[in-house]
Structure 1
C-alpha cells in the first residue's frame, strides 16, 4: 500500500501551510489563529480554497487574513559528473 502523501507529491502537489486568522464568534474584538496543512497544487491551491469556502459557509468565525506557504518536498536530484563516471545500478 502506498502512502497517500507520497502519491500526492508524485502528482505535483506540495505541502501547503496556511495560517488562518479569524475573529472569535464569542468575542468579535479578538483574533484567533488556526494552522492548516495539506498537500495542494500551487499556485491555484484548490484544496485550500475549497476549505476556506467551506469555512465561510459553515462556521461563524469571520476570516481576517490568510498567509500561505508552500514547499514541494520531492525535487529532481541534482547530479553533476566531476572528472569521472557515475554508474547507477
Structure 2
C-alpha cells in the first residue's frame, strides 16, 4: 500500500505542479488539486491493477490517518475540512 501511495503521489505531484506553474494557481487551489489528483492516481492504479489496492478512497484516507490521530479531528471532520478547503 505504501508503494501504491508513493507512485500515485508522484503522479499527482507532477500533474499538480505542472498545472500550478502553467495556470498560476494560488496555494489553496494547488492543495485542492493535489488531493484530487492523488485520488485520481489511486483510481487509475486500482483500475489497471498494476498494484493491488482494495479501494482508492480507503487508501487515500488511510494515508492521512497519522495526521488525524495527531490532531483532535475525527476522520469525517478531517475529510470535511479538506473538501471545504477545496471549495473555498
Between structures 1 and 2, the one with greater helix share: 2
TM-score with structure 2 setting the length? 0.30
Between structures 1 and 2, the one with greater strand share: 1
Rg (Cα) greater in structure? 1
TM-score with structure 1 setting the length? 0.30
